[in-house]
Structure 1
Amino acid sequence: MKKLGLATALLLAMTGAQAYQFEVQGQSEYIDNTVNDKNFTGAVQGTFYLKDVDSSKGPLAEAAFLNQASNISLAYNYGEYDVDAEDLDFISHTYGAKAEAYIPTKVVPVYASATYSHTRTDGKGGQPDDNGDRYALEVGALATKNFLVALGYTSVADQYALDAFNILSNGVAKAHLETATINEDQDAITARTKYVGNIDGTNMAVGFETGIVYGDDTAYQLKTDLYLNPQLSVGASYAESSFEGSPNSAWGANVNYFITPAIAVGASYVNANAERSDLDTQTVGLNAKFRF
């Protein structure tokens, strides 16, 4: 009977479960730039939701947001970077922990989050090892249905300290652009908005996200997704920073498909532009999610 119960639970998760409390996702990116074409990253994230998430309403990809689902997440990212003909090789490990809470009030739902990330860099070929921490707090509210407005503060104790969750959400190139924008200022103010809404008369939906980071320099990001149906979405994004380093802007495209309500696969592409240098970068990523 126990084996039958486990098999039934697995079958439901694989074929059509409409509620879940855990999500595991993984992704890998191949990085190609002017000085090398052998770099890659790998990342994994696990999320536990305090209550079951109902995925029967709206786009499957945004079920947690639409349910205002409070959660706790852990993430890890591995990056290997080799520069041709130079002793600038290194391996980076980024660990992260995050908590998000949606709190109902008599006026509007209130949002709060806290994030910690640690990046350990192992230098090769004479490069020094390094360690960096970063902390972030956000508070906001859902001004109208499915429309979030949030303000935040980020403290970066070391310039090379990436946001583990930004890597998984937006890719390693944009995560590097964001941390370079904060740079040696170490403290940054952030603001972002997010909206997901159905398109009347169809089973389609649209999502928009905007963000700004004000640190040593200023960066902004725009992102949109078109959900052709609850399972399939295509998206585009753009990010730009005022800092003079490299790269200083990036655009991207992505596609994601839920094979079942519990299993999703996707692909992404990012093109990062470098001014006054030869470090134009392209990344191609693959990702997968499993919910249960």
Structure 2
Amino acid sequence: MQKLPLVVLLSFTSIPVWADLRMINANSQYQFELSGWYGEDNDRYPEPAQTYGVKGTYYFTPVWQGDHPYAEAAFLERASSVSLSARRRDDSDQYPCGLDATGLCHNEYVEDKILLTGSWYSAGWLFVETTYFYEQTDNSWRDDREASFDRNSWSAQVGITPLAGLRVSTGYSEESDLGENDWNVEAKYVAPLSDTQAINIELAYEYAEDDEWMLAGDYYLTQAFSIGGGLSTDDDYLLRSRYFVTDFISVDFSYYEYEGGDAYQVRLSTRF
């Protein structure tokens, strides 16, 4: 079974430094979102793998940010959308000599992924999300041998949004060998604490051969700034934060520690 995904963000910026740069407009809206990111993954090899990518999202109707936490506006407005993202992972520097797991002298390993995702809300309470996944991996060795392979698959998530700020769903992936008694559930809840503060709670659980779970949360100190973290089955943990410099430009940083390594990612996003 595939492990539950765990995404993490942690900001180094401070509220006072950025506060003078923000221009708050309670009636701001957007229909496109574009982001780019860079990160490094430090696993068992001497040098970290580099990851970078881009993502674009189009919302079928404008998303009003209003008095929502800016990062949760699309979720709270139940905005239907379509997204396209591309990511590259480059392990070229991980083999300075070097022998790989097969005992061969490995020079380069490059992995490209493309995701096409559509999220739809119907009748204000039914949620459906489908994702098409394509991956291509290229390998080369010091003796000039090369090999590559590709694969594709799809997944789907179906759920309900019975209350404002709450969504409960279950999913299926073509690559998951779900058995007769296997099941999974995910829940996300965003609750206001005051006019400018809110909390976000996310829970995922999968019942299969090995039970797996993930719990994460965010505290929105203002509409523009949040800090959060989480924990998963194998005591993997995350820290995350996001800050909107303006209504439409945000920066975030992620840190994730797992068994055998850790990773970080920095992302810049804009809305228009």
TM-score norm. by structure 1 comes to 0.74
1:129 aligns with 2:148: yes
* Corresponding residue to 1:199 among 193, 199, 207: 193
Note the C-alpha offset of 1:71: 0.4
Q: Which residue of 2 aligns with 1:35?
A: 45
C-alpha distance in 1, partners of 2:111/2:32? 27
The alpha-carbon deviation at position 37 of structure 1 amounts to 2.3
Preserved contact between residue 67 and residue 196 of structure 2 (Cα < 8 Å): no
- Identify the residue that residue 282 of structure 1 maps to in structure 2: 262
Determine the structure 1 residue equivalent to 2:247.
261
Q: CA deviation at 1:65?
A: 0.3
Counterpart among 68, 74, 84 of residue 58 in structure 1 = 68
Higher helix share: 1
Whichever residue aligns with residue 228 of structure 1, its letter is L
Provide the residue aligned with 1:118 in structure 2.
134
Task: Output one character per residue of 1:251-275: Cα deviation in whole Å (capped at 9) or x when no partner.
Answer: 11011100011000011111111xx
The count of residues paired between Structure 1 and Structure 2 equals: 235
Alignment CA distance shift 1:271-1:127 (3 Å): farther
In the superposition, relative to structure 1, how do residues 214 and 73 fare at CA in structure 2: closer, same or farther (>3 Å)? farther
Deviation (angstroms), 1:66: 0.7
Deviations 1:160-190 (A, max 9, x none): xxxxxxxxxxxxxxxxxxxxxx5xx388854
Question: Distance between the aligned counterparts of 1:231 and 1:33, measured in 2?
Answer: 33
Separation (CA, whole Å) in 1 of partners of 2:57 and 2:184: 23
Q: Which runs of 5+ in 2 are unaligned?
A: 1-21, 101-105
Match of 2:81 in 1: 71
Report the CA distance between 1:39 and its aligned residue: 1.3
Matches of 2:160 and 2:35, distance apart in 1: 27
Identity %: 24
Residues 1:24 and 2:17 aligned together: no
CA distance in 2 between partners of 1:33 and 1:186 (Å): 29
1:69–1:102 Cα contact (<8 Å) kept: yes
1:128 deviates by: 3.9
| Alpha-carbon distance, 1:139 to partner | 1.2
Superposition RMSD in Å? 2.2
Structure 1 distance, partners of 2:79, 2:116, is: 17
> Match of 1:37, SS?
coil
Distance 2:248 2:161 in 1: 27
Classify the secondary structure of the residue corresponding to 2:161.
strand
Pick which of 35-44 and 45-54 moved more.
Answer: 35-44
1:231 to 221, 224, 242: 224
CA distance in 1, matches of 2:147, 2:207: 29
Is the 1:15–1:262 contact (alpha carbons within 8 Å) kept by the matching residues of 2? no
Higher relative contact order, structure no. (Cα contacts within 8 Å, ≥ 6 residues apart): 2
Please give the residue correspondences for 1:102-181 in structure 2 after superposition, counting only pairs within 5 Å.
102-104=121-123, 109-125=125-141, 128-156=147-175
State the distance in 2 between where 1:118 and 1:216 align.
27
Do 1:90 and 1:127's aligned partners in 2 also have CA atoms closer than 8 Å? Answer: no
1:127 Cα offset (Å): 7.0
Q: Unmatched 5+ residue regions in structure 1?
A: 1-13, 157-181, 241-247, 274-279
Distance 1:217 1:134 in 2: 23
Displacement, 1:232? Answer: 0.4
Please tell me whether the aligned partners of residues 154 and 189 of structure 1 are also in contact (alpha carbons under 8 angstroms): no
